[in-house]
Structure 1
């Protein structure tokens, strides 16, 4: 990543590395998120050398990597009026899935799945979950059966066709929620966060 990549989002799988190269007037990063570890750092303000840092994705999670420019005149009395430039990227880290099909159930609610383009994902949920409605072009719905109000278990098959990230979501519903006097039955959400990589990750990728 370079100065031009500010305000972008990066999706990584555990094991990948992320290199950042910025001009010498940027401060070194301070990152405490458990999803990323700092492997090496050199340069940056006030060394007068370009800032180069290398991170490694080590756990599931999301974080913001952020730094800003600095200059000796900003620490003078009085400080100069030189503008400060912020550099920020958003990083999502997930565990890579095996190359075969991915199967999810009700117990997988609020988890994160990483897929490669071409993989399929099968979701099996109890009868009262509504069928999925999906508009993200990175994941297409191949088939869907059952779900509320059919009184049959919900079974949906998806295929990853391009890079992207999305939330795959549905709700638990009951007939009494639609009575003239609705019952207090909750609309329980079921959501899985999906990251799709294209092309599929190689054994030792680096960026």
Structure 2
């Protein structure tokens, strides 16, 4: 674990796939699953608001790498993998709330699904609103219906992904000579779409009591 005095570390989206396997994968996996189960079961058994609040804001004080050390190596379809991705999503939102809210708003305009209703963000949703939604979703992990929290995260990711894809089309049409902006937005859309699928899979496993 990182020191209690470790300064928060910005976690660029490109590092999401950059974690390498440890020398003893079995040990890392066991620690990840044991700590995730212990944290979740203990807090959900007695969801004290102060404890939940500290868990929600943990990465603000200790950095996302503190969570990554424990859970980033875990399978996407596992309890530690789900917790890691919820924290990662919250961090990505907070690091670029303006762009995220813009993409989410565009997504509500182009999406033809009920995802924006499931996600639960107000419309219009500005930077403050998407950051608040990220906190509410993480609170739900510890003190609400775990599957619903994952489904809300998945819905938010799908709406925002649709928004980034639409913004990428705009950027591509506006500046064909410099496609970097369009490519960057497209990568964000694909990353969020993958996260949405992983959250949805974990929610289904949780409902079947098969997420461990």
- For Structure 1 versus Structure 2, the TM-score category normalised by the shorter chain is under 0.3
| Larger strand percent | 1
Query: Normalized against structure 1, the TM-score is what?
Result: 0.27
Task: Indicate the structure (1 or 2) with the bigger Cα radius of gyration.
Answer: 1
| Larger helix percent | 2
Query: Normalized against structure 2, the TM-score is what?
Result: 0.27
